């Protein structure tokens, strides 16, 4: 069998089931890590991993990213607003993944990571009424706000989407018009 046949077969495979699996793995790792933190690190304390650089902590975030709105006079309104926003965002990203995720690209993986991260934090907000943050990073005298695996997945996914916008992959340019071209320009099914 020729290399062209293998390339054609690979480009015909739908990446969406694998991308949804990536999103599921992000949610699973996020939940398991938060459960481990809840059971092994007392609230407000932490374990030093790399002195003066990285700690595993246990903090509760009732706000949004970087604890925005955490000190709101109306925490219930903030929580409901964040839940609604998260649901809309997750549905929009799921739509984008289903619509544009048939082929592997930085963008399709980015959508999967953002979807998994959004669902991970949405679960916390809806069920626990707060998000568990536990990764603490210091760079020199700067202290980055505590975050979690879901936040990391969203950030990495956003970077991948930006990379795809700046430097589109062959998959994105070949399939942007909905055509069935392979990476070498052949049309599938022709």
Catalytically annotated residues: 133, 151
Structure tokens, 47: 């374990």
Contact between 14 and 102 (Cβ < 8 Å): yes
The helix or strand, by DSSP H or E, that contains position 5, with its residue range, turns out to be helix 3-12
Nearest to 93 by CA among 168, 29, 153, 167: 153
Place of tokens 């609604």: 84
Structure tokens, 124: 């916390």
Q: Are strands 54-61 and 142-147 parallel, antiparallel or unpaired?
A: unpaired
Distance CA 122, CA 150 (A): 10
- How crowded is the C-beta side of 90, counted as CA atoms within 13 Å? 20
The helix or strand, by DSSP H or E, that contains position 79, with its residue range, turns out to be helix 75-100
Structure tokens, 76: 């219930």
């Amino acid at each position: 069998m020729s290399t062209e046949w293998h390339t054609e077969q690979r480009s015909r495979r739908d990446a969406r089931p694998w991308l949804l699996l990536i999103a599921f793995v992000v949610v699973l790792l996020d939940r398991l890590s938060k459960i481990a933190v809840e059971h092994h690190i007392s609230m407000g304390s932490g374990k030093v991993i790399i002195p003066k650089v990285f700690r595993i902590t246990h903090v509760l975030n009732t706000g949004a990213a970087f604890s925005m709105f955490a000190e709101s006079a109306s925490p219930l309104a903030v929580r409901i607003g964040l839940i609604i926003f998260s649901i809309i965002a997750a549905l929009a990203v799921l739509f984008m993944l289903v619509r544009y995720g048939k082929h592997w690209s930085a963008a399709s993986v980015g959508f999967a990571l953002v979807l998994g991260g959004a669902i991970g934090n949405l679960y916390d907000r809806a069920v626990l009424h707060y998000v568990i943050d536990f990764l603490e990073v210091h760079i020199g005298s700067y202290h980055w706000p505590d975050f979690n695996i879901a936040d990391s997945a969203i950030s990495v996914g956003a970077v991948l989407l930006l990379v795809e916008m700046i430097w589109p992959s062959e998959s994105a340019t070949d399939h942007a018009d909905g055509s069935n071209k392979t990476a070498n320009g052949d049309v599938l099914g022709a």
